[in-house]
Amino acid sequence: MSFIQLSEIKKDYYLDGVVVPALRGIDLEIQQGEFFCMMGASGSGKSTLMNLISCMDRPTSGKYILEGRDVANLDKNSLARLRNKTVGLVFQNFNLLSSATALENVELPLLYGGIYPAERSKIAKQFLEKVGLGDRFHHYPTQLSGGQQQRVAIARALVNNPKILMADEPTGNLDSQTSEDIMAMLTQLNKEGLTIVLVTHEPDVARYAKRVVHLKDGKILKEERK
Ligand SMILES: Nc1ncnc2c1ncn2[C@@H]1O[C@H](COP(=O)(O)OP(=O)(O)OP(=O)(O)O)[C@@H](O)[C@H]1O
Ligand SMILES: [Mg+2]
């Protein structure tokens, strides 16, 4: 059984009474432990597909099985609960809380999870050390470089032990050396068993993935395996 199984997934957005078909029939399976990448031109539906896979949104039609569970029709609360325990999310613009230190940012998901302060701090520090920021606990986002901010975001995404890490253009705001560092980190996490789903425009970034799917106009155009 596949970890993720999408069949005939369609997603329409409705804007001012006009239907915008963003996904027009997606069939896709992702196995546990994969390093999977989606590419495609702007507007091809990458983020839309990402939002569906990560349970941020629901498809208009089609079937989505996540770990054997039919999630296409779950209500919003059930979907949010499932997302919190299954998915870690990383974004292009880091999405850190600017009024919180690196440590506080990483502690946030644990706070929402009801973990006590001492334990929270201990776990968050371990993850910041894992991403090489053991000496930056008390820095605010503006006091960190872009690459360091993305490391904080990765630590925050990992702190609940998700089964899958999803990253939409995680290197889009980083220079090429820093991008390589971040991709090396994701590669290491994948070697440790984490399933990774990545969206990127850049072939240099996509080459780290073991499987690349190309989207065009809301459909899968082709697939490459390494
Ligand atoms: N909330 C929305 N309301 C209406 N249309 C939307 C919405 N979000 C996306 N779309 C449309 O759906 C299509 C797919 O958008 P999506 O954001 O998935 O593209 P993308 O491949 O991630 O592009 P990019 O590379 O620019 O991030 C586009 O035509 C877009 O205009
Ligand atoms: Mg996008």
- Residue 117 CA to residue 101 CA, distance in Å, equals 15
- Ligand 1 atom nearest to 48, measured from its CA: 18
Strands of the 211-216 sheet, one edge to the other: 87-91, 164-168, 195-199, 35-40, 211-216, 219-225
Q: Which two tokens stand for residue 200?
A: 């990127």
Domain boundaries, the chain: 32-57+84-225
* H-helix or E-strand spanning residue 77: helix 76-86
Distance 133 CA to ligand 1 centre (A): 34
Average pLDDT for residues 72-83, to the nearest whole number? 89
Distance from the Cα of residue 204 to its chain's centroid = 19
Q: Give the pLDDT band of residue 25 (cuts 50, 70, 90).
A: very high
Distance from the Cα of residue 206 to its chain's centroid = 15
- Residue 78 CA to residue 169 CA, distance in Å, equals 27
Distance 80 CA to ligand 2 centre (A): 21
Q: What is the mean pLDDT of the chain?
A: 96
Q: Give the pLDDT band of residue 213 (cuts 50, 70, 90).
A: very high
- Residue 70 CA to residue 47 CA, distance in Å, equals 21
- Ligand 1 atom nearest to 20, measured from its CA: 5
Ligand nearest to the CA of 26: 1
5 lines ligand 1 (CB under 6 A): no
Distance 42 CA to ligand 2 centre (A): 7
Task: Report pLDDT digits (tens) over 96-152.
Answer: 999 999 999 999 999 988 999 999 999 999 999 999 999 999 999 999 999 999 999
Q: Give the pLDDT band of residue 73 (cuts 50, 70, 90).
A: confident
21 lines ligand 1 (CB under 6 A): no
User: One-letter amino acid identity for 2?
Assistant: S
Beta-carbon neighbours within 5 Å of ion ligand 2 = 47
- Ligand 1 atom nearest to 44, measured from its CA: 21
How does DSSP assign 42-68, residue by residue?
A: TTSSHHHHHHHHTTSS--SEEEEEETT
Ligand nearest to the CA of 39: 1
The CA-based diameter of the chain, rounded to the nearest angstrom, is: 52
Ligand nearest to the CA of 214: 1
- CATH topology for the 32-57+84-225 domain: Rossmann fold (3.40.50)
